[in-house]
Amino acid sequence: MRPSDLPDPQRALPSPLLETPVHEPGGMRLDTVPEEVPVALSYNGIAHAVMLASPADLEDFALGFSLSEGILATPAELYGLEVETGDTGVVLHLRIAEARFFALKSRRRALAGRTGCGLCGVESLDQVARPLAPLPAGPVFPAAALQRALDGLAGSQPLRQRTGGVHAAAWCDPAGNVLLAREDVGRHNALDKLIGALAGGAGDPRGGFALVTSRASFEMVQKAATAGITLLAAVSAPTGYAIRLAREVGLTLAGFLRPGRHTLYSHPERLDGSTRKDP
């Protein structure tokens, strides 16, 4: 290994944007594209996962991934986090409670992540669906809040405005105002970053809802429910597995969020005044 390949805690993270020359019929110009880098997560000195992610908000990503994957039960179980950068990528060194580290080793899970990969590296079918506690009944949101959130989402996506090529996960208050958003080339990563930001004190998962710019897969629902989010809205379609899990754990799942419409697939009682509900 060359010395330049070694992680360096003093080295700045790469930019999440890359300007590159492109060829067009009229000639050449500079285009801005989203960057992605390998991001390794190491727990108590043991490598656990390598994901491809946008190199931004990685502290939020580390905490959110750890919580949404069930590695940590609470943010207080994360004792320390160090970000190291090298030529080949970024290493997130997490120091966690010994009991959680022991449980992690017992799971014998080795992830090899790709952009938007989902459940890469799960060793058995039993590891796919973790037991989840039922979500509480409230709160109830006005259906118009979904439209307000959709209207306000674009202004919270600076990377998408520059590149058109990243996903976002936004946190919205009960009225639908976008309070917080995280972006990433991977839809799971964006949601993990949002979960990490909320867990770090940026918001209360019980006091609002999440909006994602992707389809709502099983893992997106699982991550949201693990974080205590009671309503997840997606601009694209859900999967059947996601719908079944949402109904089971008590999460309200909305899909195909578009101007003037949405479709509800589970627990419509949390949306007041909605005209599109489950059978």
| Residues belonging to the active site | 117
Task: Give the length of the chain.
Answer: 279
- The gap from C-alpha 200 to its chain's centroid, in whole angstroms, comes to 14
Q: Which of 182, 161, 164, 212 is nearest to 55 (CA)?
A: 182
Residue whose token pair is 């006005």: 142
Spatial distance between the Cα atoms of 166 and 161, rounded to a whole number of angstroms: 9
- Helix or strand run (H / E) with residue 219: helix 218-226
DSSP 45: T
With 0-12 / 13-18 / 19 or more C-beta atoms within 10 angstroms meaning exposed / middle / buried, residue 131 is exposed
Q: In what order do the strands lie in the sheet with 261-266?
A: 178-184, 167-172, 209-212, 231-234, 252-258, 261-266
**HEC per residue, 142-179:** ECHHHHHHHHHHHHHCHHHHHHCCCEEEEEECCCCCEE
Spatial distance between the Cα atoms of 50 and 176, rounded to a whole number of angstroms: 34
Residue whose token pair is 């069930």: 70
Spatial distance between the Cα atoms of 254 and 268, rounded to a whole number of angstroms: 9
